[in-house]
Amino acid sequence: MTIYLRRVSTLPNAFNVLRVDAEADGHRHMTRLATELKSTPQLFHRVLAAYIDNSLAGIGAITDEPQPMAEPAWRMRRLYVHRQFRRRGVGGALASELLKEAIGKVGMVTVHAGTANAARLWEAFGFRRVACKAWTHETIVT
């Protein structure tokens, strides 16, 4: 099994399958991604689609951190892996490649984990939990 990552500037053809799966799994952030990518594509530094066997397995993006900070930071957001493709390294591949985009451009990348499962995922990717901030986890990039 090989994971292929592709940079996208518009939604992939099979995006609706991913959106429907996300909503069935209790997540609405794929709908937000669709709206944001259509209305304000300049918001995104990078959007990546992950494929396994020519099937859209997941998607993720990185933007500026929306909260004011002393130093520039980016936020990883809108990351979702179709339930059929979980536990195959898709999320890690997306996160790793998005973090590479931040190296040399910012010193920190943040995420907001909306669930306990998401928090464990980000911690497995090397993000550390933080309190009293507009994000739940952060990692230093160099």
CATH number of the domain to which 110 belongs: 3.40.630.30
Domain containing residue 80 = 3-140
Q: Indicate whether 37 pLDDT > 90.
A: yes
Please report which residue ranges of the chain form alpha helices under DSSP H: 15-24, 29-39, 90-102, 116-124
pTM of the model: 0.93
- Higher-confidence position of 23 and 114: 23
* Mean pLDDT for the stretch of residues 131-135: 92
Number of domains in the chain: 1
Please give the pLDDT value at position 142.
Answer: 81
- Which DSSP category does 87 fall into? T
Please give the pLDDT value at position 70.
Answer: 86
pLDDT band at residue 115 under the 50/70/90 scheme: confident
In this predicted structure, which of 24-28, 48-52, 74-78 has the lowest mean pLDDT?
A: 24-28
The terminus-to-terminus CA distance of the chain in angstroms comes to 31
d(CA 27, CA 34): 13
Sequence-distant (≥ 6) Cβ neighbours of residue 118 within 8 angstroms: none
